[in-house]
Structure 1
Amino acid sequence: MGRLARAGLYAGAVMGPFGGAVTTSILPEIGHTFGRSPGAAASTLTFYLVPFAVLMLVSGTLAQRWGPQRTVRIGYVVYAVASALAASAWTFEVLLASRALQGAANSFTTPVLLAVIAASTPKEKLGRALGLFGSMQAAGQTSAPLVGGLTAEVDWRLAFVVISIVAVGLAVLGVPQTDTEPERDASLRSAFVPSTLRPALVAFVGWACLGGLSFLVAFRLDDVFGLGAGERGVLLTGFGIVGFLTARQVGKAVDRYGATTTVVVGTTLGGGLIVAVGTSPVAAIVVIAWALTGAAAQGVLVSINALVLQSENANRGGSVSVVQSLRFMGAAAAPLAFVPLYQSHPLLGFLVPAALLIMVPAIVTWSGRGAGTRRTPQPQAPPPPR
Structure 2
Amino acid sequence: MITDVRWGTPAARGVLATTILGSGMAMLDGSVVNVALPRIGAELGASVAGLQWILDGYLLALASLILVAGALGDRYGRRKVFLIGVVWFGVASVLCGLAQTTEVLVAARILQGVGGALLTPGSLAILQSVFHREDRARAIGAWSGLGGIAAAAGPLVGGLLVQVWSWRLAFLINVPVAVVCVWLALRFVPETRDEEGHGRVDVLGSAMGAVGLAGLTAAMVEAPVRGADWLVLGAATLGVVALAAFVVRQRTEADPLVPPALFADRTFVISNGLTFVVYAALGGVMMLMGLQLQISLGYSPTAAGIASVPITIVMLLLSSRFGALASKYGPRWFLVGGPLLVALAMLMLMRVEPGSTYLGSILPAVTVFGLGLAVVVAPVTATVLAAAPDRYAGVASGVNNAIARTGGLLAVAVLPAVAGLTGAAYTDPVALTSSWRTALLICAGLCVVGGLLALGVRGNVLAVEEQVPDSPHPGDCLHCSVDAPPTHVKP
TM-score bracket, normalised by the shorter chain, equals 0.7 to 0.9
Q: CA deviation at 1:199?
A: 1.8
The correspondence for 1:310, drawn from 362, 377, 386, is 386
Q: Distance in 2 between matches of 1:274 and 1:139?
A: 19
Partner of 1:352: 445
Q: Is it true that 1:98 corresponds to 2:168 in the alignment?
A: no
Q: Distance in 1 between matches of 2:436 and 2:451?
A: 22
Partner of 2:145: 135
Is the 8 Å Cα contact of residues 36 and 167 (structure 2) preserved in structure 1?
yes
Which structure 2 residues correspond to residues 110-129 of structure 1 after superposition, within 5 A?
110-129=120-139
Q: Is it true that 1:254 corresponds to 2:335 in the alignment?
A: no
The correspondence for 1:361, drawn from 435, 454, 457, is 454
Secondary structure, counterpart of 2:189 in structure 1 = coil
Partner of 1:288: 364
Is the 8 Å Cα contact of residues 273 and 290 (structure 1) preserved in structure 2?
yes
Is the 8 Å Cα contact of residues 198 and 368 (structure 1) preserved in structure 2?
no
CA deviation vs aligned residue, 1:12-51 (integer Å, no higher than 9, x gap): 1311111222222333443454444587345322211121
Give aligned-pair identity as a percent.
26
Q: Distance in 2 between matches of 1:355 and 1:338?
A: 20
- The more displaced of 183-192 and 325-334 is 183-192
The correspondence for 2:315, drawn from 238, 243, 256, is 243
The correspondence for 2:181, drawn from 144, 148, 170, is 170
Partner of 2:258: 189
Is the 8 Å Cα contact of residues 83 and 163 (structure 1) preserved in structure 2?
yes
Q: Distance in 2 between matches of 1:345 and 1:169?
A: 41
The alpha-carbon distance between structure 1 residues 285 and 158, as it changes in their structure 2 partners (threshold 3 A), is: closer
Gaps of 5+ in 2: 2-10, 200-254, 420-433, 463-474, 480-491
Q: Distance in 2 between matches of 1:220 and 1:22?
A: 15
Q: Which residue identity lines up with residue 52 of structure 1 in the other structure?
A: L
Q: Which residue identity lines up with residue 257 of structure 2 in the other structure?
A: L
Is the 8 Å Cα contact of residues 79 and 192 (structure 2) preserved in structure 1?
no
TM-score between both structures, scaled by the size of structure 2: 0.65
Q: Which residue identity lines up with residue 198 of structure 2 in the other structure?
A: R
TM-score between both structures, scaled by the size of structure 1: 0.80
Q: Distance in 2 between matches of 1:38 and 1:207?
A: 21
Q: Distance in 2 between matches of 1:145 and 1:217?
A: 10
Length, aligned pairs only: 372
RMSD across aligned C-alpha pairs, in angstroms? 3.8
Q: CA deviation at 1:158?
A: 3.2
Which structure 2 residues correspond to residues 209-228 of structure 1 after superposition, within 5 A?
209-210=281-282, 212-214=284-286, 227-228=297-298
Secondary structure, counterpart of 2:21 in structure 1 = helix
Is the 8 Å Cα contact of residues 278 and 350 (structure 1) preserved in structure 2?
no
Q: CA deviation at 1:374?
A: 8.3
Gaps of 5+ in 1: 378-386
Q: CA deviation at 1:267?
A: 2.9
Is the 8 Å Cα contact of residues 157 and 305 (structure 2) preserved in structure 1?
no
The alpha-carbon distance between structure 1 residues 333 and 262, as it changes in their structure 2 partners (threshold 3 A), is: same
